[in-house]
Structure 1
Amino acid sequence: MDWLVGNWEQKLPDGTLKETWAKENDSTFSGNSYFINTKDTVHFESIKLTQKAEELTYSATVVGQNNDEAVDFKLTSDVDNTFTFENLAHDYPQKITYKKVTSDRLIATVSGKQQGKQTQESYPMSKK
């Protein structure tokens, strides 16, 4: 997943979504995802991608959620530059997908059931 390293962003009418990724070592990547409106950080999430034996885990920690504890999502699919992580026991999302479109474009998608309805949000981002 070396292609993920760097700064990514999506500009929206109400602000900017940013993700920053770094490689810590051969088995761990760390990232931050945050949304900034005109002057405030509205959402902040720290992320770790960790390889243990044959298992790749996406761990997300969102301040103010889940007692500030990380929620783990296991890699369930790696096909055609699309990486899907799932945790069916999590309230929302249950699935996080990163699709490498080109070396400088990706689409991050979160999906699952929310309040009994299937929901999906996609975030196309460009490397900066």
Structure 2
Amino acid sequence: MKKIYLSLLLMFAALYVSAQNPTLKTFYFMLGKWEMKTKNGKILERWHKHKDSLTGQSHKFNATGDSILTEAVVLKKINGEWHFCVTGYEKGNEGKTDFKLVKSIKNTFTFENKQHDFPQQITYQNKGKDELLAWIEGNINGQKRKIEFPYIRVK
């Protein structure tokens, strides 16, 4: 019985450590093409793997199929910590912003930059092989706001 208890304890400790110190492979669930339908068209995110990072791009498509690049992202380690580095191209959201990984619990990863206007947090959650939930949240004029992006994998 002691061996089983010790084995379980070691297994949970290993899971805790891996959740607190994710590797690049931890984020592979994001790879591929993801789509979210909107009332005006759709949003498409594409993620690619590189040697030591992931890169992503987000495009908005209107009902007629015209698209604009809204942002490009690099998920990489900086000084030993994971960062979600966003370059925005959409009007009112231009420029570069860096969000540091502050929480990783189970399949949910939260990146934060408290100095950014909005959002202050970006979260990605692995919902399974073909579902991905992302959300942004923070304060705008003292009001808490959260916007969800439920994505479905595109084959």
Same fold (TM over 0.5): yes
Per mean C-alpha deviation after superposition, the further-off stretch among 84-93 and 12-21 is 12-21
Q: Does 1:80 align with 2:143?
A: no
Could you tell me the percent identity over the aligned residues? 33
Contact 1:36/1:43 (8 A) holds in 2: no
Q: Provide the residue aligned with 2:148 in structure 1.
A: 122
Matched, 1:113 2:139: yes
Rg larger in structure: 2
Cα offsets for 1:9-56 (capped at 9, x unmatched):
01122110110000121x211000121112333561000001235300
Which structure has greater strand proportion? 1
Alpha-carbon distance in 2 for matches of 1:99, 1:122: 11
2:40 aligned residue: 14
Partner of 2:84: 58
CA distance in 2, matches of 1:116, 1:123: 23
The residue that corresponds to 1:33 in the other structure is: 58
Aligned residues: 126
User: Could you tell me how far apart the structure 2 residues matched to 1:87 and 1:47 are?
Assistant: 15
Task: Report the TM-score when normalising by structure 1.
Answer: 0.90
Q: CA deviation at 1:97?
A: 0.3
* Structure 2: runs of 5+ lacking an equivalent: 1-26
Runs of 4+ in 1 over 4 A off after TM superposition: none
Q: Given the two structures, how large is their TM-score scaled by the length of structure 2?
A: 0.75
- Structure 1: give runs of 5+ residues left out of the alignment: none
**Aligned letter for 1:106?**
L
Pairwise CA RMSD? 1.6
